[in-house]
Structure 1
C-alpha cells in the first residue's frame, strides 16, 4: 500500500505529524509539497489549510487517481469539502487516531463500500448525495515525532522554518477564529520533555528558526479557564531557547489579556524579542461583536507593558467586520496611529466556514456586505468599501510604525495587489458559503 501525504503550499505541522504517525506504524509514506509532481499512490492524505484551497486546487485534486482523504483546519465543515472536491473521506476534528483507523480498515476490508466507514469515529463521507458524519475520535492521541523533510531549512513560514505545536485549545471565543471550534476551549499542553525531544529532532534535520504554535503561545501549561501559567511558559521558552538560541525562537501570537511582566521578560530574553498581538479593532463595539473578549484599554495596557520590557510589537487588524460603521473604522485607524507599533498586519474579515463569522456572513445579504459595496474613493480600481479600508489602513501603517517607511510607487502597487487578492479570495469564500447555506 503506497501512501502520499500532500501539503499544498508549505510544510504544515499537521502534515508532518500525520506522515510521522504513518511511518512509525510501518507504512510506506511519501510527503509531497504542492501538486507539481505526479502522485503515484494508493491512498492520498491532503492537508488543506485554507478555504480557498477548496477552489484553488480542484483540478489538481480531481486528477489524482487514488483513495483521497482530506484533513486540516478546513474540516470544520466537512459538507463543504465533499461538495467542492471529489474526495472519498474527510477527517473530522483531530486526526491522529483517525488516519490510522482508516488505514487499518482499508487493509482488512478490500471489498468495502463507502457506507462501511460509518463505524469509524471522526470521518465524513457522501452516500447517494447524502453526507454522513461520525462523532470525532476523542481517545488519547498517539504522538510520535513528526516527519521532517531534508529541505526544511528552506521553508519560510512567517519567518520560521517550521512550527512546533506546544498545546491545543484556546479559551477565547473569537467569532472569526477556527481554533476553539477545531481543538476546543480547554487547553491541553504537551509534556515539556516531549517538546524538547521534538526540537532536538527538528534541529538535527536542518531546521534553524522554530516558532511555537497552539493558538495563543502564553497559554502553555494553563490549567484554568482564561488564565496563564507563567512558570510553565517561562520554562518552556528557556528550555527551547537553550537548544535553538534566542534569535531562532519565534513567538507568533499572544492575546493582550494573557500577558504579564514575567511572560514579556521571558519573550525578551529567550526569543527574538517580538510579540504579536491580535488587536483587530479600535472599536469596543466591534470587539464585542467579534466576541474577542478584550477591550481597547487592555490593548493600550499590553502594548505599554511590552514596550517597557523592550519587546518589539506587531499587531493584527481586521477591517470590514459585519456591522462595522465608518466611525468604528476610524477608531481603528486612530488606535493604530496612537500605538506606533513596530509592524502591522491588516486583513479584511474572512469568514471561515464553521465559525460564528462564517455563519453570520452566510446569512448576510451581499448588499449589506462591505466587500460588495462599491468604493467611491477607489472606483477606478474597482475596489469595494472593505478593500478601500484595508488599503488605507495598510498605507497608513507604514507611517504609524515606530520607524516610518517611505511609501514608494512600488510599495503602493504591492499593497493594492495584496488588497485585491484578499478581496477576491474572500468573495469566493462568501459565494461558497452562500451556496452551501442555500443547500
Structure 2
C-alpha cells in the first residue's frame, strides 16, 4: 500500500492570498496558515494557531487574564471539553487474609489511648519482616487498639485493661503469650514498652534482645559500647525495637481478626499494689519537647490573650514561632523549630505560621499537623494534614465559642 506523494509547491500555492505591496518594494506573497486555509491540504494536517487557542481558553469576567487549561481549542472551532477518558477510581485495597499461618509473631504495642503510635507501627513493620509470607502477626494490646489491620496485623487480641499497675499488665501479657505460643515477641523500646518487655522476660525466664536497630529474618542488630561496635544475634523469643529504626508496614491492609483466648493464671510473684492511676502532667508547664499536644502562634496572631485562652481550653502546651520570640511576645523556651525545640507531639496546631524551613524541621516528627493561615500556598498549609484557609484572629474566637457550647451541652446531659 502506497500513499500520495506530497507536492509542497501546490500546498503553498493553495494557501496563498492576495499580495500586499510594500512601502518601498515589490509586492510580497502572503499565506493563510490558519486551520481554515490549510484544512487537509494534500493530506497534511491543519496548522495550529496558538493565539486563537489561547483566546478560546480565556475565562471571561476576571480582573486579570485567567485561562482554563483543561479545554482544548483547535483553530477557530468552538471550545471543546477534554474528551480523553478519565481513569476509573481505584478500587478499594484488597484485604489480605492469612487463614492458617505457619507461626505467629506477637507485637505488644504501647497503644496509648487506644491508638497505635508511630513507634508501634514501626514495630509492626519489623514483625512483618520476621513473619514473611508464611507467618502471621498478632497484636496483643491492653485495652482496645485501632487501625491494627492497615498497620500489618493479621490477628488482634485485646486484653482487659488492668490499670496502671505494671506488674498486673505484665502478668496479663505473659498469660496471653503462653496461650498464643508465638515464635517471636516484639516490644517498642519506649518508656512503657521497655519496662513491660523486661518484666515479661523475667516472668517467662527468657532472654531479651533489647534496642534492636536492624530487624531481618536471619538476624537482629543493636549498637553496643557507646555505638562503637554492633552486636548480632539470631531472632529469639523476646526483642524490643528502637524508635525510628524500622520502616512502617507499607503493604495492603491486613485482616486483624479478633481473637479470644482463655488466660491461665500467670506464674510469678503477685503485685502488692492495690490501685494505681496515671496522673497527667500540667500541659502548661510540661517541657515542649515532651508535650503531646502543642498549639503555636505565629506572626498572624495579634491577640495573644485569646490565644492563651484557646490553649487553656484545649489543655494544650503553648508554642510560638521565632518571630514572636524575637519580639519578646512569647518566652524563648516556647520557640518551635530547628533553632528552638524539635517536637515529637501527636498533634500540632499552627496558628498564623507560614512555615519557614527551620520551623518545618521542628515539626517534622509530629504525627498530625493542623494549619490555620490566609495564604493557600504557605509551606505550613502544604505540610498540614488538615488546613483552614482563614485568618487565625477569626478562627480562635470561633473555636472558643464551640468549646463553650460543648461544655454547656455536657453540663446539661449530666443534669
Query: Between Structure 1 and Structure 2, whose CA radius of gyration is higher?
Result: 2
TM-score (norm 2): 0.27
TM-score (norm 1): 0.26
Q: Which has the higher strand share?
A: 2
As a proportion of its length, which structure holds more helix?
A: 1
